[in-house]
């Protein structure tokens, strides 16, 4: 948890205090991008600490956006991205997996908003997830997402 929360706070504060203050005084706008996850919306039982820390990152970033007047702030909440960490080697739209390049393009395309889910596919899936969480129990949403992506098949204690 400390690895996902403390660095976001410390680095963001340092950059805001040292770099962006000078840019704001010169009249230039700046952008802070913090990485959260769709797992912050629907906490996965076997990844509860990761889910909670990513929820913190998103909430911290959202609050920062309200505080900063001359700095744009973006919370990025991607779903599965084909990386070593996710375990997905290739993008697979049927499992909701996009490439790192697609995620980066989505971030840059949405850099003037306060929230993005990454690439186009993740924008659609993120919206559907938010709607599903409003009308369905979390257990049902996790079951649907897990079956669709082929994950969460192991039970954890």
In the predicted model, is pLDDT for residue 73 greater than 50? yes
If pLDDT is split at 50, 70 and 90, which confidence band does 134 have?
A: confident
Whether the pTM exceeds 0.75: the reply is: yes
- Determine the pLDDT at residue 81: 92
- Determine the pLDDT at residue 147: 61
- Determine the pLDDT at residue 84: 87
Kindly tell me the burial class for residue 12, based on how many C-beta atoms sit within 10 Å of its own C-beta (0-12, 13-18, 19 or more): buried
In the predicted model, is pLDDT for residue 30 greater than 70? yes
The H-assigned helical ranges of the chain are 2-15, 21-25, 48-67, 100-109, 120-135, 138-149
- Determine the pLDDT at residue 1: 64
Of 46-55, 86-95, 138-147, minimum mean pLDDT range: 138-147
SS (H, E, C) 100-122: HHHHHHHHHHCCCCCEECCCHHH
- Determine the pLDDT at residue 157: 37
In the predicted model, is pLDDT for residue 22 greater than 80? no
What are the chain's domains? 2-149 (3.40.50.720)
């Amino acid at each position: 948890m400390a690895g996902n929360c403390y660095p976001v706070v410390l680095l963001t504060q340092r950059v805001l205090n040292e770099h962006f203050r000078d840019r704001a005084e010169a009249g230039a706008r700046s952008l802070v991008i913090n990485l959260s996850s769709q797992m912050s919306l629907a906490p996965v039982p076997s990844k509860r600490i990761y889910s909670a820390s990513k929820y913190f990152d998103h909430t911290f970033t959202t609050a920062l956006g309200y505080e900063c007047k001359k700095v744009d702030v973006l919370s990025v909440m991607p779903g599965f991205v084909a990386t070593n960490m996710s375990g997905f080697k290739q993008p697979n739209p049927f499992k909701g997996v996009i490439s790192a390049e697609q995620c980066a393009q989505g971030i840059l395309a949405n850099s003037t908003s306060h929230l993005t889910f990454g690439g186009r596919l993740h924008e659609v899936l993120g919206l559907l997830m938010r709607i599903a969480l409003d009308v369905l129990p979390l257990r049902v949403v996790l079951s649907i997402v897990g079956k669709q992506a082929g994950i969460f098949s192991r039970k954890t204690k």
